[in-house]
Structure 1
Amino acid sequence: MLSIQFGQAIGKQLSGTVGAPGVVALRLGLAAVILLLLYRPSLPRSRTDTGLVLGFGTAIAGMNLVYPALTLLPLGLASALQLLGPITLALLTSHRPRDAGCAVLAGGGVWLFYAPHGAHFPLGGVLLALASGISMAVYLLLSKTAAARSTGGDSLALALAWAAVLTVPLGAVEQGTHLLAPQVLLAGIVVAVLSAVLPYSLELAALRRLPTRTVGVLASLEPASAGLAGVLVLDEHLGLAQWAALACVGTASAGTVVRREKKRGETAPHTRGQGEEDGPRTDRRSHGPH
């Protein structure tokens, strides 16, 4: 979370030089090159694998709508709006009243960020951040499948290559050879590594070792890390109400996942002594109730 948010903060700075399409082209294009060289993936062997790569890559490309949103919104607000996608996904997959309460808390957090100081952010930026959030929800669904079907980073490398195919031409048309300037390329490599190569690889590795919902709890730190990156990198100072707003969104995100992990962990004592090892049960309980 820290890596991707500080990478996005640097990307927001770079957008002042090459524009949002240029940043996305550098981010995904360079990230794809790095991962293709690192993993040297084989082409998909079945229609299912091909569809997974195309869907995964399209979701990654859609998540990059956050970059044009960042030209219009503070980093913390864009991240909070983006996180509404995964929260809505959790809400739609559950009919529990508390999940509805988490959704209300998240919406209240966004309002608290937006309304108290009479700030009026462009509707276009809000819609772009929300569209990025929808793509993030799809990304989370497909990333778990990709992690299960691939022992390495083959699916991630191919998905990023497809995302680059979708986005690099837009940046190249707008900026042309300016994207190849040494200083621009160097900054682009930093953005690609911090906001794509490192976080996507770590997230895929985490999903192989942890339940999806445990990863979701950790993802709830994203608005807070975005606010921190905005302060340290972009000098976007937040008021107390805005930090409280980010806390609301993060708490709502954690609330949609931690209860189910806790409930699952609480069932462990009743199943022991039936020929199953105690180790996995103990691990599951240690990760569940935070």
Structure 2
Amino acid sequence: MAQQPEVAGAAATSGATEAPGASGGGLRARLAPVGLVLAGGISVQFGGAVAVSVMPRAGALGIVTLRLAFAALVLLVVCRPKLRGHSRADWGTVVAFGVAMAGMNGLFYQSVARIPMGPAVTLEVLGPLALSVIASRRAVNLVWAGLALCGVFLLGGGGGFNGLDPAGVAYALGAGAMWAAYIVFSARTGRRFPQADGLALAMVVAAVLFLPLGLIESGSRLVQPGTLALGAVVAVMSSVLPYTLELLALRRLPAHTFAVLMSLEPALASIAGFLVLSQALTAAEALAIALVIAASMGAVRTQVGRGRTRAREEAKRGAGR
């Protein structure tokens, strides 16, 4: 699944700044954090592919429930978030973050149960891309939006989505909208809670919300040893491991570079779908995914350029005082 990580969305929409020390060191030091991000992306998408293969056993809602529950448990143990000392507004923000997280995961898994992973992630990426374009308010972003729309047009076999299940397309677009909401509330949660405490609490909210849905769909199948084990694997591959790798990478990697790398998620999803699920792409679908990736990268770079220009102007005004 595309990322999900909260830091990725914040970087893509806030005029990202460089991490301390990101420009120093040799070639190996500069490439190491890039490798961590790519490893995290590969883990997310192959975890998603494993989840799709488990769906016949546990159902789409069941596998989401297991993923969120195991991820919440791990984050609670690692982060040990404090429950006292938070305002009503703080709790409202973290609940909204958890709702967005639950919606994003639930809608995405409903999508990949119906359409291949590559197209599903490509459609999902349109949510953060639209948020980036709207936040930027620059004319050049209309170019990126147009490029993305061309990709969607190709992905739909000429605009009608005749080759893709309409429900799967709708779920993927819904997941993209929830991903945009996830980005917004992730940033707000990060400002209100220290370290990853807000993420851990939001994951608990998402897991609690999905537990009844998973039990209704899967019932006793959800607690079978084999299903539990596979759910734990999905949680580690799709949440715990990529979050850890990305947090490590962001200590040494410019945030805008991180956001650009996250734009490669549709390509990684296509590779995972092909290798794990034998989901081959047509030439038109491959071109469509490439166009959306290019649009996403362009939007990120435009945001970064705008942020740097604003920083230079502020520095000049400060020097003139």
TM-score interval, smaller chain: 0.7 to 0.9
Contact 1:14–1:23, Cα closer than 8 Å, also in 2: yes
Structure with the greater relative contact order (CA < 8 A, sep ≥ 6): 1 or 2? 2
- Alignment partner of 1:84 out of 90, 107, 126: 126
2:200 is the counterpart of 1:157:
yes
Provide structure 1 residue ranges, at least 5 long, that are not aligned to the other structure.
277-290
2:51 is the counterpart of 1:8:
no
1:95-114 alignment, distance < 5 Å: 95-114=137-156
2:283 is the counterpart of 1:240:
yes
Structure 1, residues 38-95: CA drift from partner, whole Å, max 9, x if none? 2221115211210121011011001111101111111001101101101111122233
Query: Is the partner of 1:93 in helix, strand or coil?
Result: helix
2:234 is the counterpart of 1:191:
yes
What's the TM-score once normalised by structure 2's chain length?
0.78
Structure 1, residues 12-52: CA drift from partner, whole Å, max 9, x if none? 11112111011111111111111112222111521121012
Query: Is the partner of 1:77 in helix, strand or coil?
Result: helix
Stretch of structure 1 that moved more, 246-255 or 192-201: 192-201
Contact 1:23–1:171, Cα closer than 8 Å, also in 2: yes
CA distance in 1, matches of 2:178, 2:258: 17
- Alignment partner of 1:43 out of 65, 83, 107: 83
CA distance in 2, matches of 1:247, 1:90: 18
Report how far residue 241 of structure 1 moved.
2.5
**Residues 270 and 260 of structure 1: is their aligned pair in 2 closer, same or farther, counting only changes over 3 Å?**
same
Aligned twin of 1:57? 98
Aligned twin of 1:251? 294
CA distance in 2, matches of 1:268, 1:165: 42
CA distance in 2, matches of 1:100, 1:146: 30
Contact 2:155–2:161, Cα closer than 8 Å, also in 1: no
Report how far residue 203 of structure 1 moved.
4.9
Report how far residue 193 of structure 1 moved.
1.1
Report how far residue 204 of structure 1 moved.
5.9
Aligned twin of 2:225? 182
Aligned twin of 1:34? 74
What's the TM-score once normalised by structure 1's chain length?
0.86
Provide structure 2 residue ranges, at least 5 long, that are not aligned to the other structure.
1-40
Structure 1, residues 223-281: CA drift from partner, whole Å, max 9, x if none? 111111111111111233222211111111111110231344467778889999xxxxx
